[in-house]
């Protein structure tokens, strides 16, 4: 499939029966790794069969932490390329960059007027990110981050929001704010449900299974990057920490093995107990060698497609152009309703 030949269409696809709508977003803030893919994007791809989906690179959230401009641009396109290369289909789903649709920040302002300092102060992510810092040096954007996220979700009247456990509190805040608005001003928003990923999808660090896999924490060996070369992938998995004992199985006393088995299962589609049975009488090294191959061959087609998208940027840029227009059309309707509810004079 050549990258240039299959352009997404310019029109909204027909929507005969109303399927539940989902919105989700990822911040473009660094090297993409297995946690991003298995924990989010892979599920996004599957949800396209059952939901109307909007998938967003949330660059305005990313700038709540200082970014280098060239890197931010690069990371944003890389993230969108991962969506597309993994099977997010811009003909079926709306794929876009948050800052391309100004309605997000506009709705955020209105939501700011009904969100309380107290509820934002209670957000555990805010507390974690600002632990030890004084108000003097905490950016307002860090504090207000959940309100932008609420605007993302509510603008599209999303029924459901697939997120990791760490974002559940933000979706609950979104629900509270939506209900508060609907009650105070009249119904304008759908109150969304969080869809929390099940344990298997939580990918932990390869050198510390107590921590989430992340590009920022720990060493290079703590994560497998989506674009890592096959030898690098094999080596990182070979060097992953293991638990005491020799038996290949999961369980609370075997956090490192549980993580490796989860990754194995997520990529191969084989149920955990079947994998465990396969390694009866075998050792950690056997599991790691096979897991290396499983990950290498699962990532290979994604890597190939990402390189194609990088070689010819027109497909991605066109998808983002169409995505922003389609997103904007939905957002504009919600925003018009919200303005009317609040009493803002319609623009003549
Ligand atoms: N805050 C989310 C995260 O860090 C990213 C995000 C922003 C998001 N807006 C969203 C996720 C809307 C779901 C829906 O993971």
The reply to whether 110 falls in a domain is yes
Q: Per-residue pLDDT for 271 more than 70?
A: yes
Residue 10 included in any domain: no
Inside any domain, residue 141: yes
Q: Does 2 have pLDDT greater than 50?
A: no
Q: Please state, rounded to an integer, the average pLDDT across all residues of the chain.
A: 93
- Exposed / middle / buried, residue 221 (Cβ in 10 Å: 0-12, 13-18, 19+): middle
- The residue contributing the CA closest to ligand 1 atom 6 is 25
Asked whether the predicted pLDDT for residue 12 surpasses 60, the reply is: no
- Residues 324, 277, single domain; the answer is no
Same domain, residue pair 164 and 110: yes
Confidence of residue 173 (pLDDT cuts 50, 70, 90): very high
Residue at 173 is within a domain = yes
Q: Based on the domain organization, do 292 and 317 belong to the same domain?
A: no
> Domain of 266?
220-311
174 C-alpha to ligand 1 centroid (Å): 11
In the predicted structure, residue 9 carries a pLDDT above the cut 80: no
Give yes or no: residues 88 and 27 share one domain. yes
Name the closest-CA residue to atom 11, ligand 1. Answer: 25
Q: How confident is the model at residue 4 (pLDDT cuts 50, 70, 90)?
A: very low
Q: pLDDT at position 199, please?
A: 56
Question: Are 150 and 269 in a shared domain?
Answer: no
Query: Tell me: the pLDDT tens digits for 85-144?
Result: 999 999 999 999 999 999 999 999 999 999 999 999 999 999 999 998 887 889 999 999
At residue 280, does pLDDT exceed 70?
Answer: yes
Residue 278's pLDDT is 95
Same domain, 156 and 269: no
Q: Ligand 1 center to residue 292 CA distance, Å?
A: 30
**Are 263 and 126 within one domain?**
no
Is residue 59 over pLDDT 70?
A: yes
Residues 171 and 231 grouped into a single domain: no
Is residue 252 included in any domain, yes or no? yes
In a domain, 5, yes or no: no
CATH code (residue 262): 1.10.240.10
Query: Does one domain contain both 178 and 163?
Result: yes
Domain assignment present for 2: no
Domain of 77: which CATH number?
3.40.50.620
Q: What is the predicted pLDDT for the residue at 136? A: 81
Domain count, the chain: 2
**Catalytic residue IDs:** 129, 212, 215
- Pair (234, 131) in one structural domain: no
| Residue 15 is assigned to a structural domain of this protein | no
Atom of ligand 1 at shortest range from CA of 27: 5
Q: Same domain for 183 and 325? A: yes
Q: Please say if the pLDDT value at position 77 is more than 90.
A: yes
Choose which residue among 21, 25, 83 to substitute to test ligand 1 binding: the one with the highest number of ligand atoms within 8 A of its C-beta. 25
The verdict on 96 and 179 lying in the same domain is yes
- Specify the ligand 1 atom closest to the Cα of 145: 1
More confident residue, 123 or 3: 123
Nearest CA to ligand 1 atom 15: 26
């Amino acid at each position: 499939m050549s990258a240039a030949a299959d352009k997404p269409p310019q029109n909204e696809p027909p929507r005969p029966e109303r399927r539940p709508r989902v919105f989700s977003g990822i911040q473009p803030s660094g090297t993409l790794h297995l946690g991003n893919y298995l924990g989010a994007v892979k599920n996004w791809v599957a949800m396209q069969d059952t939901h109307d989906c909007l998938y967003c690179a949330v660059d305005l959230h990313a700038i709540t932490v200082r970014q280098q401009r060239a890197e931010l641009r690069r990371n944003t396109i890389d993230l969108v390329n991962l969506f597309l290369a993994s099977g997010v289909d811009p003909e079926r789903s709306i794929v876009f960059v948050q800052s391309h649709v100004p309605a997000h920040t506009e709705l955020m302002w209105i939501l700011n007027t009904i969100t309380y300092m107290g509820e934002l102060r209670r957000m555990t992510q805010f507390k974690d990110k600002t632990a030890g810092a004084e108000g003097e040096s905490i950016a307002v954007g860090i504090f207000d981050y959940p309100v932008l996220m609420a605007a993302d979700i509510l603008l599209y009247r999303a029924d459901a929001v697939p997120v990791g456990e760490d974002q559940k509190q933000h979706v609950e805040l979104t629900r509270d704010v939506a209900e508060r608005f609907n009650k105070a001003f009249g119904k304008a928003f759908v109150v969304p449900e969080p869809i929390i990923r099940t344990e298997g999808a939580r990918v932990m660090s390869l050198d510390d299974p107590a921590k989430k896999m992340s590009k920022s924490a720990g060493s290079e060996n703590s994560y497998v990057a989506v674009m890592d070369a096959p030898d690098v992938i094999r080596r990182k998995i070979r060097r992953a920490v293991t638990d005491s004992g020799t038996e290949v199985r999961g369980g609370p006393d075997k956090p490192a093995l549980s993580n490796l088995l989860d990754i194995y299962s997520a990529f191969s589609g084989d149920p955990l107990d079947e994998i465990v049975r396969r390694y009866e009488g075998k050792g950690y090294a056997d599991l790691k060698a096979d897991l290396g191959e499983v990950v290498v061959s699962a990532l290979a087609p994604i890597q190939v497609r990402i390189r194609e998208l990088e070689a010819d940027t027109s497909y991605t840029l066109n998808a983002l152009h169409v995505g922003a227009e389609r997103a904007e059309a939905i957002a504009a309707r919600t925003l018009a309703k919200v303005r009317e509810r609040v009493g803002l004079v319609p623009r003549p």
